[in-house]
Amino acid sequence: MAEVKYHHVGKKFGEHEVIPDLDLHIKDGEFIVYVGPSGCGKTTLLRMLAGLETLSAGQIWIGDNNVTNMSPKHRNVAMVFQNYALYPHMTVAENIGFGLMVRGTPKSDRRKKIEQAAALLDIDNLLDRKPKEISGGQRQRVAMGRAIVREPDVFLMDEPLSNLDAQLRHQMRAELRNIQQRLGVTMVYVTHDQVEAMTMADRIVVLDKGQIQQLGTPREIFQKPKNRFVASFIGTPHMNILPWEQCRGHGITVPDAFQDLCNHHHVYDIGFRPADMTLADEDGVIKLTIKTLLVENLGNDVLVHGQIGGEGGHVRALIPTEQAPSQGDELAVAISLSKLHLFDEKGEAIGSS
């Protein structure tokens, strides 16, 4: 177990700067998730930590060791890849124990560790099978088992669930989290799937263009996004973000308290989550009327796609199915002031710090 520190880390591929200057402190035993759009640098950050990619600037520390120039095998990290990288001709037990065999661990010790890991992962009845004789989810566990027996300081995972179907992904998310907690290891996990990040992480690193946009617990990131990028990236369905000027001209009624706030700050965009719009008619809320363009049935709720005041922006509202409007209906909705996100011209959240 160990903490991890990125200290002024930079990375260039030729002239292409992927990570400008990044500082990050991952705590011992923490489950940390790097999330962000394709190409934002998640995998590069992970590979630099694993020693599979050199740094162009800065240092990386694992515990008390400056590992910046250390070879991967001396870093005591274990990486689980998207494609599992299992040896097809070896049994599950041989795959799990391969790293130990290479290291020269005696056979009896090896067997014990393999059996312990297999029991933890609930694959102890599959030890004599070959990878082609087990399911995708089971293969994923074997890859995990191979990492566990090495007893690394840090586990690194790059989109390990992306080859699984939706139901299995869901199940494995909970299992991985459970295993990490039982082992008490530091886990660094890369995904572009913000739901995965929200459900698994102790803290999330939201990245864009190689820069940390926000570092925080899932709750902090969801409830207090620091800027427009984080607000629009995290949360399903996505937050509605509209230029305030455009809204004002299109029949939004605001309470005095909000008008006061706008007078003091330069509000450029306003944001509100589809689930935070209600049909209740109360005081202290922002009110707007939406022309229903499309109604998507999600089961308990419907997602209404609509337009504010004719020419206004598009918005999405999550409404209980029993209150669902029909296409073309006008829908009067309210948003409580506490659920509103305000952004300045640069996209920074107003009043979030």
Give me the residues that bind ligand ATP (CB under 6 A), please.
13, 16, 18, 36, 38-44, 192
CA 39 to centroid of chain Cα atoms: 15
239, 266 Cβ separation under 8 angstroms: no
As measured in angstroms, the least distance from the Cβ of 38 to ligand ATP is: 3
Tell me whether residue 43 or residue 214 sits nearer to ligand ATP (CB atom). 43
240, 272 Cβ separation under 8 angstroms: yes
Tell me whether residue 156 or residue 340 sits nearer to ligand ATP (CB atom). 156
Tell me whether residue 43 or residue 278 sits nearer to ligand ATP (CB atom). 43
187, 28 Cβ separation under 8 angstroms: no
Q: Which two tokens stand for residue 109?
A: 């010790």
As measured in angstroms, the least distance from the Cβ of 31 to ligand ATP is: 18
Radius of gyration of the chain (CA): 24
As measured in angstroms, the least distance from the Cβ of 43 to ligand ATP is: 3
Tell me whether residue 37 or residue 106 sits nearer to ligand ATP (CB atom). 37
As measured in angstroms, the least distance from the Cβ of 350 to ligand ATP is: 29
As measured in angstroms, the least distance from the Cβ of 241 to ligand ATP is: 23
Tell me whether residue 130 or residue 209 sits nearer to ligand ATP (CB atom). 209
Tell me whether residue 57 or residue 120 sits nearer to ligand ATP (CB atom). 57
As measured in angstroms, the least distance from the Cβ of 41 to ligand ATP is: 4
Residue 145 gets which letter from DSSP? H
Tell me whether residue 38 or residue 71 sits nearer to ligand ATP (CB atom). 38
CA-to-CA separations, 28 to 80, 99, 153, 205, in angstroms, rounded: 19, 24, 9, 16
1, 156 Cβ separation under 8 angstroms: no
Buried b (16+ CB within 10 A) or exposed e, 206-235: bbbebebbbbbebeebbebbbbbbbbbbbb
As measured in angstroms, the least distance from the Cβ of 157 to ligand ATP is: 12
* Contacting residues for 101 by C-beta, under 8 A, at least 6 apart: 94, 110
User: Hey, is 312 helix, strand or coil?
Assistant: coil
Q: Which long-range contacts (CB under 8 A, 24 or more apart) does 113-120 make?
A: 113/149, 114/145, 114/149, 116/149, 117/145, 117/148, 117/149, 118/92, 118/93, 118/145, 120/145, 120/148, 120/179, 120/182
